[in-house]
Amino acid sequence: MRKKLKFKFEFDAPVTITFAAVSLLMFLSDTFIFKGKLGVFMKSSTAASGELPFVASNFSSYLSFILYPFVYTSWGVLLTSLVFILLLGPAMELRYGSVVIGIMMFVSAIFSGVLNACFCKTSLTGCISIVFMMFFLNSFMELSRNKIPLSFVIGFCLFILYEGFVQANGIVQIIILIAGGLCGSLLAFLTSPRAKAEKRRADYIEELDSRSPRNKKNNRNSDDDDGTTVIGTLKF
The pLDDT tens digits of the residues spanning 109-159 come to 999 999 999 999 999 999 999 999 999 988 887 776 777 778 888 888 888
- Give the pLDDT band of residue 195 (cuts 50, 70, 90): low
Higher pLDDT, 20 or 171: 20
CA 52 to CA 45: how far, in whole Å? 5
- The answer to whether residues 141 and 95 touch, using CB atoms and an 8 Å cutoff, is yes
Which DSSP string corresponds to 165-228? Answer: IIS---HHHHHHHHHHHHHHHTTHHHHHHHHHHHHHHHHHHHHHHHHSHHHHHHHHHHHHTSS-
**What per-residue confidence (pLDDT) applies to 233?**
47
**What per-residue confidence (pLDDT) applies to 24?**
96
Query: Residue 47 has what DSSP assignment?
Result: -
Selection from 98, 34, 111, 32 nearest residue 68 by Cα: 111
**What per-residue confidence (pLDDT) applies to 1?**
54
Least confidently predicted of 16-25, 104-113, 150-159, 214-223: 214-223
CA 177 to CA 128: how far, in whole Å? 7
3-state secondary structure of 46: strand
Higher pLDDT, 212 or 113: 113
CA 182 to CA 85: how far, in whole Å? 16
**What per-residue confidence (pLDDT) applies to 71?**
94
% pLDDT > 90, the chain: 49
- Give the pLDDT band of residue 202 (cuts 50, 70, 90): low
Q: pTM to 2 decimals?
A: 0.77
The neighbouring-strand residues paired with 53 are 46
Higher pLDDT, 121 or 202: 121
Q: Is the pLDDT of residue 193 over 60?
A: no
Classify residue 234 as exposed, middle or buried by CB count within 10 Å of its CB (0-12, 13-18, 19+): exposed
Alpha helices (H) along the chain:
14-32, 37-42, 59-67, 75-96, 98-119, 128-143, 150-161, 171-185, 188-211, 213-224
Query: Which whole-number Å values give the CA distances from 228 to 2, 154, 220, 224, in the listed order?
Result: 13, 54, 14, 8
- Beta-carbon count within 10 A of 213 CB: 7
Q: Is the pLDDT of residue 51 over 50?
A: yes
CA 104 to CA 96: how far, in whole Å? 10
- The answer to whether residues 190 and 96 touch, using CB atoms and an 8 Å cutoff, is no
CA 43 to CA 157: how far, in whole Å? 26
Least confidently predicted of 66-70, 119-123, 188-192: 188-192
Please tell me the class of the 36-193 domain.
Answer: mainly alpha
**What per-residue confidence (pLDDT) applies to 108?**
96
Give the mean pLDDT of 200-225: 61
CA 204 to CA 211: how far, in whole Å? 11
% pLDDT > 70, the chain: 80
Give the mean pLDDT of 207-211: 70
